[in-house]
Structure 1
Amino acid sequence: MNTNNYYFFFLFLSCLSAFGQHDISIDAYLDAESHSLEIKQSIRYKNTTGQTLDTLYFLDWANSFSSKTTPLGLRFNEDYRRDFHYANDSERGATHIGSFTNEAGENLKYTRPLGMPDILRVVLREPLLSGDSQILNLKYTVQIPSSKFTKYGYTPDDEFNLEYWYIAPAVHTDRWHIYSNKDLQDIFLPPSEYTIDLDLPTEYAVTSILKQRTLEKNAKRRKLHLSGRNEKEVKLYLQKIDDFYTIEVDSVQLISNVRVGQLPEAAMQAKIAAILRFLESNLGTYPLRTLLISTIESNKNPLYGLNQLPNFLRPFPNDFQYEIQMLKSITYAYLENSVSLNPRTEKWVVDGILVYLMMDYMDAHYPDMKLAGNLAHYFGLRWFHGADLYFNEQYYLGYKNMARNLIDQSLDTPRDSLLKFNYNIANPYKAGLGLKYLEDYLGDAAVQKSIEEFYDRYTLKPVTALDFERILKSNAKKNIDWFFEDYVGTNEKIDFKIEHVEKAEDSLRIILKNKRDNTMPVSIYGMRGDSIISKHWIDGFKATKTVSVANKGEDRLILDFEKKIPEIKRNNNYKNLNGILNKPIQFRFIKDIEDPSRNQVFFIPVLEFDNIYDGIILGGKFYNKTVLKRPFTYKITPTYGFKSKTLIGSLGFGGTYQFRESGLYSLSAGLGMSKSSYAEDLFYKSITPYLRLNFRNKDLRSNEYQYINLRSVNISRDKSPDVPLETPDYSIYNARYAYSNSNFENAFTFYVDSELAKKFSKVSATANYRKLFVNNRQIDLRWYAGTFLKNNTQADNRFFDFGLDRPTDYLFNYGYLGRSESKGLASQQYITAEGGFKSILNTRFANQWLTTINAEASIWNWIVAYGDAGYIKNSGSRPQFVWDSGIKLSLVADYFELYFPVASTNGFEMGQNNYGEKIRFKVTLSPKTLLGLFTRRWY
């Protein structure tokens, strides 16, 4: 036997022993009224590490719910999930340990590592030699959390869905794999043998992956015995009405309560049989007896898309909806229960195999299924490009959404460092697409063979992503280093272009350009009409490469015609060999998904209300922006104001150049033009070129963000016969630096503005800080300071002065409903800007300098107290101290709020006449702004 054979022999033996099973015995008593479990537990810990251990680690993830400041609590804050922060202590849950002893009954010292309150570090009294075992005994109480946080816990109906309800050994391979719960469904436990005696009220039915039998029973309580081998995690579902069903397929038993509509049992049986037999054939034999798929797990890991719409809107039949969701859930459980990869750091392997198998299943069973389902056949919808897309194309769109926004992350990024959209959608999709890309490049069954070999070799054994890489490379007949170095190890995008083609009688000389810094391969297709005449794979290169291929009478060349490569842009993949335009122009009604084979122009009717002067606005918008972000966009919006009886509208275009993922990551430049009313029968026109530099943190989960914006605002206003304008037309050069770092608990923004015009120049600074305390109280502080460096605008009726409570908005930045109103409801609109006061005082403007502080403090729920104070300075007068105070009703924070003045420099305002005219309101009507209220949790 040679050296390599010895190496693999001992490696094989170590794999067999590394996950020698621990024995876990649990005696648990459920107190349903107090939502707690009294637990006596014994763990026979077997040392299979190959080294002596004097310290052991255990996962106590039930304790991750114990406070707002645990890693789980902080994660909820990052994701803007308020329910945990506002919950009572009794709703959060915790672990209370009574004792931790060895077999002799001697107390063991245990601690929780700093910053890891859900991890236990236990110091042994005697070292544990390799191959030996020690018995450890625990007594503890688990306070079960409310199910409103993660769907696991006690429910409003006093049922119990139990996850992370017991203390379990951490995995040790070459090191300890310990990390805190962050609600990512990524607990890492070794396969163990479980014996559980559960004492609970008789009204509860128990569902789990374990075998069970009744030990004792009386009128009020019963004791169940549950047992199983090679199980990594045990979840329990305790229901008053058992809604689980069981389906047997060959040697596998599926237990589930997932249902879609009134699908009959025979149909569900047929779908489950098809899925399990597909996995048996394409992955391998399931090593355990039972698969448990609950609606909770299914909903936590859904197949995102139109299939998630309510039943009456869903464009897929019930049997397909059930099948595709169960395909994902079963395949995920199949892999998770069998393959012992670290899910926090190497999840991409399981995700990639999962999506790869799902794509194969769809190709085999539903090759013609469209992404839009039945909607693809409806009149009025079927001419959209989105209706042409096949079901499997959703994976490319999901990944490209993040790549186009430059917020995609490498596949080997730890799961807790991923953006929510990335760990739910973009990264799993990219992983699966990558395996399909690799499969097409290799041109044989190497990827499928490698997946089967990987599963067969490492079922229920310790394994790493490196093992998967070794198997793939051993089966590949080409060099695939690029796949792991570029595709997996970076977030470098893929973007190829046909730069130039020279035709000869018998050959085509093609110059290809790789627009990105990678060495990934690309395929070239020769087309005649819709038929593929030739296909060539070009190995990876940087910059440009010239290749020559036989001329077979092609009329077009297309890169990646069959869409196997997840390129960030496909619209530069086309070269027409016989015509002028590489792609025809296509007009479409309403925004569509990008069709890379067409130059698309979209039209959408416009009906909106911007201000009280133009009234209802009707018109149309012509634009090229698709569902996903594009590097260059334009928008032409001619409209008609029914009240002003005038043609108005806007025009804008701009481009964005993206750099790397951090530091200066993008640069935007463009031009905007508009015409609208600024008063009754008076209009303004604006022309604004701009340049913006965007900066962000290397950690994409960080909300830290900076930008520098440079623009020239050029305004032309109609003259009013009633109010003569000294400066109806003006140009202002504006530069702004902005910094923000905000999350649910703390938010800070700061920006500095400078303005330069013919008659004045000024600088100003604004800082905002919001703090949410652990007692659920919140304070908001805002500071503003502005000063003129030069001011020769005295004849302009204070139009360019600093505003204390309602700036004149000469830059036309704000969405005033009636910007020129001095009385009436529209004049009471409040926008947080400049002085930020809510009360209307005698002195409202400053032509020298202004500085104010605005403060708010929560009283109860959406009722807030506010107070403003500051100094206002006008030429020829001393600085004047001003203040106001009142109550704010924050019905939808920052989007719809009401301000009720109480007292100010004017005196006690609530007792004054015309109090209704003093009430201010904030309202946001912009759909884009409102959308941000929902998308902040995902990005």
Structure 2
Amino acid sequence: MKKQLILTFLFNVFFLSLSFGQKNNISITATLNSEADILDIYQEIIYYNTSDSVLKNIYFHNWPNAYKNKRTPLAIRFVEKNSKSFHFTNDKNRGYSEIKNIFINYELASWDSTAKDPDILNIPLKKPLLPNESVKIIVTYSVKIPKDKFTKYGVNSYQYNLRYWYLAPAIFDEKWNTYNNLDLDDLYVDFSDYNIKLNVPKEYTVNSDLVYGMTEGKLNNQYKLIGSNRPDIEVNITQYNDFLAYNSKPVSIITNLDSEKLNLVVKTNVLSRELKFIESYLGKFPHKKLFINKIEYDKNPVYGLNQLPSFLEPFSDIFEYDIKMFKVLVKKYIENTFLFNQRKDAWLADGLQTYLMMKYVEKFYPEIKALGNISTIWGIKAYNIAKIDYNEKYYFVYQFASRKNLDQPLTTPTDSLSNFNRKIANKYKAGLGIKYLENYLGEETIKNAIVDFSNKNANNKVKSTAIFNNINTTKDIEWFKIDYLQTNKKPDYTIKKVIKKGKDSLNVIVENKRNFTTPIELYGIKDNDVKYQQWLTKIDSTATVTIPKDGFDKLSLNYNSLLPEFNLRNNWKNVDKKLFTRPLQLRFVKDLENPYYNQLFYKPVFGYNYYDGIILGLTFSNQTFLNKSINFKVTPSYSTKSNSFSGSYSLRYEYLPENGKVNKIFIGLGGSHFDYAEGLPYNKIVPYAALEFRKKSYRDISSNIISTSYTFVDKAASITNPQDPETLKYKVFSLGYGYAKPTILKDIRFSTGIEISEKFSKASLNARYRLLTNTNTQFDFRLFAGAFLSNNTNTDFFSFALDRPTDYLFQYDYLGRSETSGFLSQQIIISEGGFKSKLPVPFANQWLTSVNTSIGLWRWFEIYNDAALVKNKNANVYFAYENGVRLNFVQDILEVYFPVYSNLGWEVTQPDYASRIRFVLVLKPKRIFNFLRRGFY
């Protein structure tokens, strides 16, 4: 009896170990109909319940169905990215999956999916699936392959790039991990064994890294592909095969990411070197072949390579090929070796990719600069941006987001990250964090941790926090686990004071200026050489450190910029007191921040208005590529037409709260001096403050701002055309609130405010709604309502304007603001009444309400209709109306209006019709840039 119990126990242990080692088995027979772009699929899945729970249903990722219509999560995601191509495409260009029948253990079964989650399939089980048991599911279905212009995966004129093209079982660990296809390329599926028979037309070739099951590899146009322990299967089916198989070691690479300027031997050697380097950190690759489609690189390129002008050949052909392949290779290596939840837990995979890229460049290309060969060009090589090493770019690019308060915690799910953070900033921050740990703990400690992590977790599901179990150190790294990973807190240390203590030592007072306590390294520097180093830890407020004075004349914190600090400029102190801690550096045009200098940048600027003519100026500022807390800009200029000096200036302080509902606070002062009419200059001074609220989501492109200002205006009086004194010198206090959410389909803007001056006070409301209908027809609606609370003015200079505001605050970009006739008088700013026709009652000194509408007929061709009620003192309400044709080339930037009919009758029949045509024209580069960047950050 005892022997029998022992045998039973051993059998159960063997059975459990066997079942826990089981992988899902997926068999697919798929036939491609190239005329209809449809895959007819017969799929068998042997699903193993490796959990401790009893399963009553099984969920599948049905990602091909994410393309079925414009209401899916994927379609909504496209709109969020400011792309309307999928929303308005023809239905034949979309994709879908059509389930025909499902059998469970050969019995017909039911299934369902919701309109909210059409790409997630739920299959209820008639019999609960117990732990360690398996079930066989057979599904017959068709997949319509979408055009590849949406996600780069799909069909084009000569090939099919297939990814996430079949039903994939979701992972269950205490709960089902189901995720929508959001074009993030992060399907979370378990390693499985695959047996695929793919039937294609005879003119097509199939590319994959799965082993061919037949000797010839191809028989009767059928490819048999076998793979074990794989995450997802990517396949290329093409008529014109541009994939090459490289006999690299220890893994063969199949790829169409190529360089025509390098020969096969060189490229093979490069790939072998990359694989050997990656293997030294991540262990042996679990398969003999690796498939890399250039789509992987096109969707996530090496930023810096693709932004620099190619005609300058900034990088050598071999470096460019090497770094491109390495980036993609590391990503594919990680995806096929470890099973991360890339939607919820991506920071370590991203960090390892960036960290290994930094280590690879550090070893094989230490001489490469961020600008490559451009850094050697005369006139450029003196700049800080030309001097930084290639790996230093990661710090500065991440800081671009950090200084704008746009950075997000590394533990943020990828579907909640902004596009800029997901593709660039968070990857860089994760890699920089690992690199900083390396500097703090030692290179061998971090490398051994990565190697141990890889050895223990290869071919398994793993969480990113597991890396900490392999870091062998007695030093405290809780700051990294908590603040660095889980918050967007920004470290910032400064040397507050240096006090000599005797002849041989110094007391250094170091202050932590923000709520983030990290280790920070203190350096003693002389002639740019490091003479002294010491790590400082646990400084949460202020600490005094005593150090030996040993051959250095400057002290610096974070000298090598390895810690992504918020501000590097306050990290320096001279040992001996000097008037200026940092000398002045004068630079032509903007540069990267150099913390060793007080930088002053100058650049020529050009402008134009009718009265000043061409404006030639020189701007002096402290503005670098990265935001600063305090920015100033002074622009003295010369007006060629008026033969007079002009210019502008500004000073702004910006505060970024770390937490709470406020994102930014601005306080500033601005002013300008130009001509407002022929030979008549004006001076304007505006102190202001603004408060920007934090967005609910970093993917949200809305803005929510309260602002206040006090505008002082002093205008020169005309001798030939006397003006009322009230229009020459005045002060206006303004308080306003603005909200805007300019998405690609629905553009909502709302603003309201009050103005108070010595002779008047008034309130106004402005609302605008723009809609692109499902037929790609644009409808634009605008409402304005304004009323004087008091009005003791003698003129209409401060009145509400029906068609062309006087712009007494000098805030609009008029080319000829005082013109009443001629071409420049036809420029309009859609503000206040928003009318295009010049009607008999152009102003309202009591109240004004107007409605402006337009509807698109074809592309940028629209019809507009406006109506308004204009009320002046001691006069009846004037009803104004008009309609016409609007050519809306670029919304709010370039538009042309052709009046047709108004209170004046048929305007098109008037002899002076050309003078009635109105236009919107914005020449400011910043406005155009903000329009183009929407949806990226």
TM-score, normalised on structure 2? Answer: 0.96
- What are the equivalent positions in structure 2 for 1:785-934 lying under 5 Å apart? 785-794=785-794, 796=795, 798-934=796-932
Q: What is the RMSD computed on CA atoms of the aligned residues? A: 2.0
Of 500, 503, 522, the residue aligned with 1:503 is 500
Shift of 1:550: 2.2
Shift of 1:216: 11
What is the DSSP-based 3-state SS (H/G/I as helix, E as strand, rest coil) of the residue aligned with 1:342? coil
What's the counterpart of residue 253 of structure 2?
254
Query: In 1, Cα distance between the equivalents of 2:906 and 2:186?
Result: 58
Query: In 2, Cα distance between the equivalents of 1:339 and 1:173?
Result: 16
Say if 1:520 and 1:540, in contact at 8 Å, map to a contact too.
Answer: yes
Query: In 2, Cα distance between the equivalents of 1:575 and 1:20?
Result: 62
Summarize the Cα distance change of 1:88–1:896 in structure 2 as closer, same or farther, 3 Å threshold: same
Q: State which drifts further: 770-779 or 646-655.
A: 770-779
Which residue identity does 2:744 align to in structure 1?
Answer: F
CA offsets 1:254-312 (integer angstroms, 9 cap, x no match): 01111234211111112111101111222211111211111111111211014544532
Shift of 1:889: 1.1
Say if 2:889 and 2:895, in contact at 8 Å, map to a contact too.
Answer: yes
How many aligned residue pairs are there?
A: 922
What's the counterpart of residue 742 of structure 1?
742
What's the counterpart of residue 7 of structure 1?
none
Shift of 1:751: 1.1
Q: State which drifts further: 282-291 or 768-777.
A: 768-777
Shift of 1:390: 0.1
Shift of 1:217: 12
What is the DSSP-based 3-state SS (H/G/I as helix, E as strand, rest coil) of the residue aligned with 1:649? strand
Q: State which drifts further: 704-713 or 648-657.
A: 704-713
What's the counterpart of residue 269 of structure 1?
268
Shift of 1:770: 1.8
What's the counterpart of residue 46 of structure 1?
48
Shift of 1:330: 0.5
Query: In 2, Cα distance between the equivalents of 1:927 and 1:361?
Result: 38
Say if 1:518 and 1:541, in contact at 8 Å, map to a contact too.
Answer: no
- What are the equivalent positions in structure 2 for 1:546-585 lying under 5 Å apart? 546-580=544-578, 581-585=580-584
- What are the equivalent positions in structure 2 for 1:206-285 lying under 5 Å apart? 206-212=206-212, 222-285=221-284
Shift of 1:19: 6.7
Of 99, 102, 105, the residue aligned with 1:103 is 105
Shift of 1:762: 0.9
- What are the equivalent positions in structure 2 for 1:133-532 lying under 5 Å apart? 133-155=134-156, 157-212=157-212, 222-309=221-308, 311-472=310-471, 475-504=472-501, 505-532=503-530
What is the DSSP-based 3-state SS (H/G/I as helix, E as strand, rest coil) of the residue aligned with 1:567? coil
Query: In 1, Cα distance between the equivalents of 2:850 and 2:13?
Result: 70
Say if 2:250 and 2:275, in contact at 8 Å, map to a contact too.
Answer: no
Summarize the Cα distance change of 1:306–1:661 in structure 2 as closer, same or farther, 3 Å threshold: farther
Query: In 2, Cα distance between the equivalents of 1:48 and 1:420?
Result: 36
Query: In 2, Cα distance between the equivalents of 1:824 and 1:789?
Result: 35
Summarize the Cα distance change of 1:18–1:568 in structure 2 as closer, same or farther, 3 Å threshold: farther
What is the DSSP-based 3-state SS (H/G/I as helix, E as strand, rest coil) of the residue aligned with 2:69? coil
Summarize the Cα distance change of 1:532–1:285 in structure 2 as closer, same or farther, 3 Å threshold: same
Shift of 1:746: 2.0
Shift of 1:17: 6.2
Query: In 2, Cα distance between the equivalents of 1:664 and 1:133?
Result: 53
What's the counterpart of residue 81 of structure 2?
79
Query: In 2, Cα distance between the equivalents of 1:662 and 1:333?
Result: 39
Which residue identity does 2:464 align to in structure 1?
Answer: A
Query: In 1, Cα distance between the equivalents of 2:107 and 2:401?
Result: 55
Which residue identity does 1:41 align to in structure 2?
Answer: Q
Which residue identity does 2:190 align to in structure 1?
Answer: P
Summarize the Cα distance change of 1:216–1:252 in structure 2 as closer, same or farther, 3 Å threshold: closer
Query: In 2, Cα distance between the equivalents of 1:19 and 1:639?
Result: 76
What is the DSSP-based 3-state SS (H/G/I as helix, E as strand, rest coil) of the residue aligned with 2:200? strand
Shift of 1:661: 5.2
Query: In 1, Cα distance between the equivalents of 2:213 and 2:283?
Result: 31
Say if 1:216 and 1:223, in contact at 8 Å, map to a contact too.
Answer: no
What's the counterpart of residue 690 of structure 2?
692
What's the counterpart of residue 756 of structure 1?
756
What is the DSSP-based 3-state SS (H/G/I as helix, E as strand, rest coil) of the residue aligned with 1:815? coil
Say if 1:18 and 1:462, in contact at 8 Å, map to a contact too.
Answer: no
Query: In 1, Cα distance between the equivalents of 2:753 and 2:259?
Result: 56
Summarize the Cα distance change of 1:216–1:502 in structure 2 as closer, same or farther, 3 Å threshold: closer
Q: State which drifts further: 752-761 or 342-351.
A: 752-761
Shift of 1:444: 5.0
TM-score, normalised on structure 1? Answer: 0.96
Which residue identity does 1:160 align to in structure 2?
Answer: Y
Query: In 2, Cα distance between the equivalents of 1:821 and 1:265?
Result: 68
What is the DSSP-based 3-state SS (H/G/I as helix, E as strand, rest coil) of the residue aligned with 1:160? strand
Which residue identity does 1:169 align to in structure 2?
Answer: P
What's the counterpart of residue 590 of structure 1?
589
Mark the runs of 5 or more structure 2 residues left unpaired by the alignment: 1-11
Say if 1:53 and 1:127, in contact at 8 Å, map to a contact too.
Answer: yes
Which residue identity does 2:850 align to in structure 1?
Answer: T
CA offsets 1:106-156 (integer angstroms, 9 cap, x no match): 1x221214621110111011111211211111111111111110111111x
CA offsets 1:439-484 (integer angstroms, 9 cap, x no match): 1111352211111111111111111123223223xx1221211111
Q: State which drifts further: 183-192 or 737-746.
A: 737-746
Query: In 2, Cα distance between the equivalents of 1:386 and 1:682?
Result: 43
Of 630, 644, 656, the residue aligned with 2:654 is 656
Shift of 1:637: 0.7
Query: In 1, Cα distance between the equivalents of 2:733 and 2:53?
Result: 69
Which residue identity does 2:169 align to in structure 1?
Answer: P
What's the counterpart of residue 131 of structure 2?
130
Shift of 1:579: 3.8
Shift of 1:662: 5.0
Query: In 2, Cα distance between the equivalents of 1:471 and 1:121?
Result: 38
Say if 1:411 and 1:489, in contact at 8 Å, map to a contact too.
Answer: yes
Query: Are 2:33 and 1:31 aligned?
Result: yes
Query: In 2, Cα distance between the equivalents of 1:347 and 1:616?
Result: 53
Summarize the Cα distance change of 1:14–1:815 in structure 2 as closer, same or farther, 3 Å threshold: farther
Say if 2:759 and 2:793, in contact at 8 Å, map to a contact too.
Answer: yes
Summarize the Cα distance change of 1:681–1:662 in structure 2 as closer, same or farther, 3 Å threshold: same
What is the DSSP-based 3-state SS (H/G/I as helix, E as strand, rest coil) of the residue aligned with 1:835? coil
Summarize the Cα distance change of 1:18–1:480 in structure 2 as closer, same or farther, 3 Å threshold: farther
Of 57, 61, 69, the residue aligned with 2:63 is 61
Which residue identity does 1:825 align to in structure 2?
Answer: F
Mark the runs of 5 or more structure 1 residues left unpaired by the alignment: 1-9
Say if 1:18 and 1:173, in contact at 8 Å, map to a contact too.
Answer: no
Say if 2:106 and 2:138, in contact at 8 Å, map to a contact too.
Answer: no
